[in-house]
Amino acid sequence: DDTSWASNMATVLAFHLPDITGTDDWRFIGWGKALELLNAVDSVAYATEIGNLITNLTGSQTGGYWPGTVEQGRVQNTAYAVMGLAAVGGTDAIMAAEAGADWLVAEQISSGDSTGGWLDPDDENKEYSYVDSEALQAIKAVLDISGSLSLSAAYIPQIGISVTPLAVDFGSLVPGVPSDPQVVTVTNTGNVLERFTPSIIDESVTGVYTTGLKRDDLLVVDWCATHVGVGDSVTISPLTLTVPGGTDPGTYTATHDVFVSGERVKLTPTEYN
């Protein structure tokens, strides 16, 4: 099928979207149809415009409907907004579309000669067949997506940690003299009680860290933090590094920068039981 006309129309529409302001009477009808077109033509290329339209519509909804004026009423506004949001999908859009459809159903005439249609309070309580049609199309659009469920969730790993800071620079050290003390904070970001076990992973300087990296007076490689509750933190402090003195002077000079930046100590979290 030739989609060039639709593509060209989408380009023009996207260009003129900023011309529609929050005071334009017909903005909800325009925004709703714009959502349908842009989503159908290229939802990726027009992702920004689609996102802005969803924000505009969901932010303008009041009690399930979109307000109207004398020329066009809330029933018509709501119908087009619902159709656009239902076409795009996504949690926020679907929730707003469903609320709009619920409002339309509640506003249906339930007695008299016009049972089933819509009398618009914004237009002298008149009923128009084309507005009835638009409302029905909107309800149908929501029914079409009601067979599927849009789900979203934030994944919390069972075992996880965060480390602050991610890197420690001990500076240039004199052999045999401890560095200035540093503080590292480890937080349990999982959902079980954890223990943290450190190990040295930088092979090029393993000897330095194995024999010289200490938490207080205990070598870090011999330290293990246990019983760290969910959301709780433990500090590795004071954390110091001492370059061995009198050994391998060619490697460890008085100004040898033994640690610049990067992750050298690996903290392995495991469940504590």
* CA distance linking residue 159 with residue 271, whole number of Å: 7
Share of the chain above pLDDT 90, in %: 25
The residues, any chain, with a CB within 8 Å of residue 38's CB and separated by 6 or more, are: 10, 13, 14, 46, 49, 50, 53
Looking at residue 258, its pLDDT comes to 36
Task: Give residue 70's pLDDT.
Answer: 63
What are 84-142's pLDDT values in tens digits?
Answer: 999 998 888 999 999 999 999 998 887 666 567 888 776 677 788 888 999 999 999 99
> Mean of the pLDDT values across residues 196-209?
65
pTM (predicted TM-score): 0.52
* pLDDT on residue 120: 73
CA distance linking residue 234 with residue 131, whole number of Å: 63
Give me the chain's average pLDDT, please: 79
Domain extents in the chain: 4-145, 161-271
Alpha-carbon torsion angle 163, 165, 171, 177, nearest 10: -50
Please state the rounded mean pLDDT for residues 2-21.
Answer: 87
What does the DSSP 8-state code read for residue 109?
A: -
CA 136, 140, 146: angle at the middle one, nearest 5?
145
pLDDT band at 25 (very low <50, low <70, confident <90, very high): confident
Task: Tell me which of 25-34, 37-46, 249-258 is least confident.
Answer: 249-258
**Between residues 198 and 123, the one the model is more confident about:** 198
* Average pLDDT rounded to a whole number, residues 130-157: 78
**Is the pLDDT score of 192 beyond 90?**
no
Q: Where are the alpha helices (DSSP H) in the chain?
A: 4-16, 27-42, 47-60, 74-88, 91-107, 129-145, 206-212
| Cβ(187)–Cβ(233) below 8 Å | yes
For the record, the structure tokens of 122 come out as 């914004």
CATH number listed for the domain at residues 161-271: 2.60.40
Place of tokens 């590094």: 241
Predicted confidence (pLDDT) per residue in 204-247, tens digit = 555 666 777 888 888 877 777 667 888 899 888 888 888 776 54
